[in-house]
């Protein structure tokens, strides 16, 4: 069966067509600037590296999905002969709240629950819903499955997910830590035991998903015991454009002194902070290049990023009760071998050591020395495959 994986953002839509017979990617693509002048579409079909690329205004996600399906079935440069070959669609959905502890078939009932969670993450949840609705409209009768970014983290105990605020905010408003990047953390958590040569239930490790958005998770016996993102993806380590942890009182102080309202303030913390706020760019490569030329702000930003990551790893070593492994993944974790080495160099007192000969870009495996007290691994993540696997599993039971 082939599964169409959809990751719908506010003005973009990423997609992959995965053949579940061998879990190979048949085609993938990206639609950008949906609802904005100059919508851009690009699809690459794996076999023959065939590309369809064009710019044509698309008003909404329904138009974008229609374009995806037209491209997938394009006679010359498509990937499939007809839409009948698509067995189901799997959708990345930001927030499952406490309602969804696993992926769910989209039904009228589950859609109501997904919609009820919009207030917890309106910026992502609304477009995620629009993506599902678009598939329902354009491919009526085709099953849709929702795969939640938060679901894998639902195993956290209350001591990890409760904030120190009046308890009624948890009971009445469901204010708590949820955590995100769940599909990536789950994929990596499934891979690590293979490298450690241990059963998943015997492993304790820390996953560092370091992309534009970044989060850590502490895993014991295959289950999350803590994670760095919170009610929203704003909490945790320094990110491309997000501040990560700040003293909440900073908000009032800045707002009083600038006249910003709470929405502008949060927009600043989400979109104009992190690397972008402290230095010249949200992109690690640009920050590194600027630091190499002597830019003091870029150097400071890198130091903040590294130091905070080291502190979180130290804390999560406590959370798991002594880690077997520290794992790097996502854009920075998979590619920036020097940044990973810098992070680990601060943990030398714990006996953790990177082996420079093994610390290679994009290669999966152990990158620490044989005598390192904690193994360090680099494993490329895959955020689409877990969505496709869950979708297959759910629709196979229909």
Tell me which residues touch ligand ADP (CB under 6 A). Answer: 211-213, 240, 283-285, 330-332, 335-336
Give the Cα separation of 189 and 196 in Å (integer): 11
- Closest distance of CB 231 from ligand ADP, Å: 19
Strands (E), 22-178: 24-32, 40-45, 50-55, 86-93, 104-105, 144-148
182 vs 331 by CB, closer to ligand ADP: 331
327 vs 332 by CB, closer to ligand ADP: 332
Q: Give 90: exposed, middle or buried? Use CB within 10 Å, 0-12, 13-18, 19+.
A: buried
Q: Which residue intervals of 217-261 are DSSP H helices? A: 249-258
Residues 242 and 358: beta-carbon distance below 8 Å:
no
Tell the residue number behind the tokens 């690009």, with chain if given: 42
- Closest distance of CB 333 from ligand ADP, Å: 8
Query: Out of 19, 149, 226, 324, which one is annotated catalytic?
Result: 149
12 vs 62 by CB, closer to ligand ADP: 12
- Closest distance of CB 394 from ligand ADP, Å: 25
CB atoms within 10 A of CB 33: 15
What are the helix and strand counts (H, E) for the chain?
14, 14
- 232's enclosing H/E stretch is none
Residues 25 and 44: beta-carbon distance below 8 Å:
no
- Closest distance of CB 275 from ligand ADP, Å: 7
Tell which residue, 306, 163, 275, has the closest CA to residue 230: 163
Residues 359 and 367: beta-carbon distance below 8 Å:
yes
- Closest distance of CB 212 from ligand ADP, Å: 3
* Active-site residue flag, 245: no
7 vs 317 by CB, closer to ligand ADP: 7
73 vs 297 by CB, closer to ligand ADP: 297
CB closest to ligand ADP, residue no = 331
Residues marked as catalytic: 149
């Amino acid at each position: 069966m082939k599964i169409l994986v959809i990751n719908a953002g506010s003005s973009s839509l990423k997609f992959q067509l995965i053949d579940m017979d061998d879990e190979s990617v048949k085609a993938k693509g990206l639609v950008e600037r949906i609802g904005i002048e100059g919508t851009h579409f690009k699809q690459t079909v794996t076999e023959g590296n065939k590309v369809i690329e064009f710019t044509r205004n698309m008003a909404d996600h329904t138009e974008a999905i229609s374009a995806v399906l037209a491209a997938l079935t394009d006679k010359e440069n498509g990937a499939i002969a007809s839409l009948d070959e698509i067995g189901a669609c799997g959708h990345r959905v930001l927030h499952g709240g406490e309602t969804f502890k696993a992926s769910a078939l989209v039904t009228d009932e589950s859609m109501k629950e997904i919609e009820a969670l919009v207030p917890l993450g309106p910026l992502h949840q609304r477009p995620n819903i629009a993506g599902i609705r678009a598939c329902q409209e354009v491919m009526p009768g085709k099953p849709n499955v929702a795969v939640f970014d938060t679901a894998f983290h639902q195993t956290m105990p209350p001591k990890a997910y409760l904030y120190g605020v009046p308890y009624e905010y948890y009971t009445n408003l469901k204010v708590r830590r949820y955590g995100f990047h769940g599909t990536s953390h789950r994929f990596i958590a499934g891979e690590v035991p293979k490298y450690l040569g241990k059963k998943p239930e015997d492993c304790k490790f820390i996953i560092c998903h370091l992309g534009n958005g970044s989060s850590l998770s502490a895993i014991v016996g295959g289950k999350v015991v803590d994670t760095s993102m919170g009610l929203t993806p704003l909490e945790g380590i320094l990110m491309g454009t997000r501040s990560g942890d700040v003293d909440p009182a900073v908000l009032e102080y800045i707002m009083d002194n600038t006249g910003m309202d709470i929405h502008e303030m949060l927009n600043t913390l989400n979109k104009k902070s992190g690397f972008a706020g402290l230095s010249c760019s949200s992109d690690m490569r640009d920050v590194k290049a600027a630091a190499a030329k002597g830019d003091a702000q870029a150097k400071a930003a890198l130091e903040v990023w590294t130091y905070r990551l080291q502190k979180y790893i130290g804390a999560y070593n406590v959370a798991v009760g002594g880690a077997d492994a520290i794992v790097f993944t996502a854009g920075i974790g998979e590619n920036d071998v020097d940044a990973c080495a810098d992070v680990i160099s601060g943990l030398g007192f714990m006996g953790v050591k990177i082996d420079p000969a093994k610390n290679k870009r994009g290669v999966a495996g152990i990158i620490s020395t044989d005598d390192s007290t904690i193994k360090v691994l680099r494993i490329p993540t895959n955020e689409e495959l877990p969505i496709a696997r869950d979708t297959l599993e759910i629709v196979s039971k229909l």
